[in-house]
Structure 1
Amino acid sequence: MTDLNIFLYCASSSSLQSLELPSSEITDAVVEQVAGKLSNITFLDISSCKKIGARALKAFGKHCQSLVGLRRTMRPLEVTDMVCHDEEAVAIALTMPKLRHLELAYLLLTTQGVLHILLHCPDLEFLDIRGCWDVKIDETLKEKYAGVRVLGPDIVDDRSFLDEFSDYTDSSDYSWEFMDDVYDDDVYEDMSDEESVWNDDYDVD
C-alpha cells in the first residue's frame, strides 16, 4: 500500500484523533485534498516528510482545528540541501493556535520564526528546537515565555531523554535541564520534566 493510500485510508475514519506519518512521501497537493477529512485530529506526526512544506501545514492547521500536538522534525542529513523553514513556522503560528506540544528539531529555523510561534500559540507548553542552530533567545524572551519548556537548540552528550521520549534514529545526542514542575498531558504521559539551556546572545529590542 502506498503512502497516499495509507493517508486516504486514515482520512476515511471520522473518529481518528492521532495520525502518524513519519517519513511519508505525501505531498502538499495531497494534504490539501485530504486534510478536510481530518477535523478530529488532535496529534499529528509528519516528521521527516520531505515533500511537504508550508502549504501542507496551512492545510492541516485550517482543517484540524483541535490540533494540540505536532511533531514536525527532521534528521540532520535530511536538511543539508534545504533552505530556511521559517515559512513553516509562520504557517504553524497562524493556523495552529491551540498547540500545546510542538517538536521542530533540526528544522532550519531562525529566531524570528520561533518568535512567530511563541506569539501566536498562547497555550504552548513544550517546544523542541534541538539542532535549530540559528535560533537565539535572550533572557528577556525566556522570562516573557517562562511557561514554555524549551528543549534545545544546544545538543550535548546524553541519550536517556532520547530513549524515553523520542522516535529519532539519528546519531545525535541530547541534553536538558531539570524543571520544578511536572508535565501532565494525556497525549504525552511519558514526557520527562526537563528544559534545555537557552542561548543568551540574541538581543531583543
Structure 2
Amino acid sequence: MVGEGSDDEAMRCWDDLVPDALAVILGKVGLEEKLSVVPRVCKLWRRAVAGPMCWQEVDIEEWCHRSHPEQVERMVKMLVSRGGAALCNLSVSRLQDDAIFAFIVQHGGGSLRTLKLPVSEVSDAVVEEMASKLSSLTTLDISYCSKMGCKALEAIGRNCKSLVGLSRNMNPIGWEAHTGNDEEAMAIATTMPRLKHLEMFYGQLTETGLRAIYAGCQELEHLDVRGCHNLRIGGAVTDRRPGLRVLGPLIPNCYDSYLEDDCSDDYDSSSIYSEDGELDEEWDGVDEWDEGWDGVEMRVYLAAHNPDHDFGWPASP
C-alpha cells in the first residue's frame, strides 16, 4: 500500500519515464482521447502525444466512411504529419484526389509497412510516380479504387519487393456488365512473387489470369476470388498447387453481405443519394439485380488446409 505522498511519487514516476516509452504507452489510447483528452492532462503528456512515436499506427478507416471529404483530408494530413518517419501502419478510406495520396507518401511513405486506402479516388499516374517511396510496404489494400488499374499494380509490384498481402476487391454492383480482363492479374503475377494473401473479390480475371497468378505467385497461401464470374467451377480454380487455399468463385447472399460490410449502424443512408435528393444511378434497379442471385451457393476449394490460417473466412462446407 502506498502511503502519504503517493500522488507526488506517481507524478515523479511519470516524469522519470523515457519520453519514447511514454509515447508508446499513450499510443495505445483511443484516437478521440488521444486528440482531445491526453493533451490536457499535463505538459509532459501533451509533448508526448504531439510527437511521432505516439502515431506509429493510425486507423481511421471507419471514421473516414462517416465523415465529409474535407474533414477526412484535414485529419489525414494532421495524423500523417505527426507520425512522419515513425508511421508504420495507416488505414484510411475515401481519399478524394491524388494530392492527399502524394502527401501521405511524401511524409510517411518510407516507413509504411501497411497501407489501406479503399474507396479512394487515387489514379494510376500518382501511384506510378510515388511507388518508389513505398519500398517498405508489406500489406496494401486498394479495394474499390476505380481509378487504379494494372499500371498502378505493376508500379507497386516493381517497387514494393516485400509485399505479401494485397486486397484488390471491387464493387459487385454492375458485375454483369464486366467482361473478362486479365491485365491486373498479369501485373500481379509478373511483379509480386512474394504474395501470400491475395483478395480479388469481384475481379474481372479469367482462367488465363488465374493460372498466371498460380505460376507467378509461388508463395501464395490464400486466394479470394469470390464473385469473379469469369471463372468456372471445375476450371483453373481447382487446378492449384497443394497448400493453397482458394475461396470462390461463387458467393451466397452477395448483396446482403455487401450492404452489411459497407453500412454500419451510424452510416449516413443519405449517402446513396445525389445532392438533389435523387437516387444515384448506380442504385437504380437494385431489386432486379438482387433477384438474379437467389439460390446461389458458395464452394470452397481447399488443398492441405491449415486451420491456423483462416483469416476470418467462413469454414469450409
Report the TM-score range of the alignment, normalised by the length of the smaller protein. 0.7 to 0.9
Aligned to 1:131: 227
What is the alpha-carbon distance in structure 1 between the residues aligned to residue 232 and residue 177 of structure 2? 22
Point out which structure has higher relative CO (alpha carbons under 8 A, 6+ apart): 1
What is the alpha-carbon distance in structure 1 between the residues aligned to residue 186 and residue 117 of structure 2? 22
In angstroms, what is the RMSD of aligned CA positions?
3.2
What is the alpha-carbon distance in structure 2 between the residues aligned to residue 158 and residue 78 of structure 1? 13
Counterpart residue type for residue 9 of structure 1: F
Aligned to 1:169: 262
What is the alpha-carbon distance in structure 2 between the residues aligned to residue 123 and residue 42 of structure 1? 14
Counterpart among 83, 101, 104 of residue 10 in structure 1:
104
Listed as ranges, the matches of 1:98-117 within 5 Å are 98-117=194-213
What TM-score comes out, normalization by structure 2 length?
A: 0.52
What TM-score comes out, normalization by structure 1 length?
A: 0.78
3-state SS of 2:208 partner:
helix
Deviations 1:72-129 (A, max 9, x none): 0101126565543310000000000000000001011111111100111000000000
Listed as ranges, the matches of 1:139-158 within 5 Å are 142=238, 144-157=240-253
Deviation >6 Å, runs of 4+: 170-174
Counterpart residue type for residue 223 of structure 2: L
Cα offset, 1:144, TM superposition: 4.4
What is the alpha-carbon distance in structure 1 between the residues aligned to residue 239 and residue 232 of structure 2? 14
Deviations 1:40-89 (A, max 9, x none): 00000000010111111000001111000000010112656554331000
Q: Does the C-alpha gap of structure 1 residues 35 and 89 become closer, same or farther in structure 2, counting only changes over 3 Å?
A: same
What is the alpha-carbon distance in structure 2 between the residues aligned to residue 141 and residue 80 of structure 1? 20
Counterpart residue type for residue 306 of structure 2: D
Number of aligned residue pairs: 188
What is the alpha-carbon distance in structure 2 between the residues aligned to residue 52 and residue 79 of structure 1? 18
* Rg larger in structure: 2
Q: Does the C-alpha gap of structure 1 residues 182 and 38 become closer, same or farther in structure 2, counting only changes over 3 Å?
A: same
| 12-21 or 28-37, larger mean C-alpha shift | 12-21
Counterpart residue type for residue 112 of structure 1: T
Aligned to 2:133: 37
| 137-146 or 61-70, larger mean C-alpha shift | 137-146
What is the alpha-carbon distance in structure 1 between the residues aligned to residue 208 and residue 235 of structure 2? 16
What is the alpha-carbon distance in structure 2 between the residues aligned to residue 86 and residue 54 of structure 1? 9
Q: Does the C-alpha gap of structure 1 residues 80 and 27 become closer, same or farther in structure 2, counting only changes over 3 Å?
A: farther
